[in-house]
Amino acid sequence: MDLLRGRLKDVRVDPLEAYGLPSKGDKRLLALPAQESYYDHILNRCLKYWSSHIVFNDLDDAFASLVLGDKDASSGLAVDNHQSKEYRCFSLLVQSGFHRLETIVVQAMRKLREAIVAAHRSDSFAQNAYVFMIRTMILVRHRESYHPAVLHLLNRMHPSNPLATPVFHEISSYHILDLACRQKDINAALLAKLELSVQDPKVNQILSAITRGDWVAFWEVEKSMDAYQTQLVSEASNRMRRHAVESLGKAYLSADVHYLERATQMTWGDIQDVYNVQWSLVGNIVTIRQVKRK
């Protein structure tokens, strides 16, 4: 028996797969110490994953736009031993070009969110973990994860244990931009802005630009936003480009190609390929419509 045991190799279980979904009956992750340990495993996996996908480009501007250090320092979120890992995760995420997470990590974050919800937890750890997961899922564009997390943080955690004002306004702005840009519900976005009392000039300008179809203002505001808001606003970019192309096609007989590229935030070749326009380019002048002779 001892000889047989010596021949058998220990089966290594991935820490992220050690637990099942609480909604499927696995209650082990409802223990508070287990949640905090599991969160640490998630952070470690994110660090390892993104560091292996770094693309060495000039991403200093993108990283600077995150302003995580200043934001978290003034946010009122409790500082714990996870915070430095969270910052490093975002640093690597930006350097990797916002590389998508592997499925196992996305699933692990879902398990942790379910466990926090099932444990009726709204303390500083739960808030920190939720904010981290919301920010991460926004940057990797995982809509199925960040949307319910935002709603739970605002509608459940905040009434029970009020978020610090900067964090509340940050998460509220994500909710409003998601409504306006991804869900295409500008009325719901305006209503949410009033109900949540969000006074963010950039959010106001984006809502105004979408409402008026002002693509010039839309592009200008989008460029000035941080990485999180930019990812959310980009959901409306294609609609604004199409609107710009259609409006230019109706308003101009001809236009400078560089003006068209600025207005649509696309190259001339992409405008032709994506929208299949029958415009012609001679030199720097694009002929949009021919004058019909009588």
Instruction: Record the pTM.
Output: 0.81
- Residue range 157-173, pLDDT digits in tens: 999 999 999 999 999 99
Sign of the alpha-carbon dihedral angle for 208, 180, 263, 289: negative
| pLDDT score for 70 | 43
| Torsion region of 58: left, alpha or beta (phi above 0 gives left; psi -120 to 50 gives alpha) | beta
Token output for 202 = 């950039």
Q: Where are the beta strands (DSSP E) in the chain?
A: 254-256, 280-282, 285-287
Strand partners, 256: 285
CB 160 within 8 A of CB 123: no
CA distances from 100 to 50, 116, 226 (A): 9, 24, 19
DSSP state, residue 92: H
Residue ranges of the chain whose pLDDT lies below 50: 56-79
Query: Mind giving me the DSSP string for 176-232?
Result: HHIIIIIS--HHHHHHHHHHHT---HHHHHHHHHHHHT-HHHHHHHHHHS-HHHHHH
Domain residue spans in the chain?
11-242, 244-287
CA distances from 95 to 60, 85, 128, 211 (A): 9, 15, 23, 34
CB 175 within 8 A of CB 148: no
CB 289 within 8 A of CB 283: no
| pLDDT score for 152 | 97
| pLDDT score for 6 | 56
CB 286 within 8 A of CB 268: yes
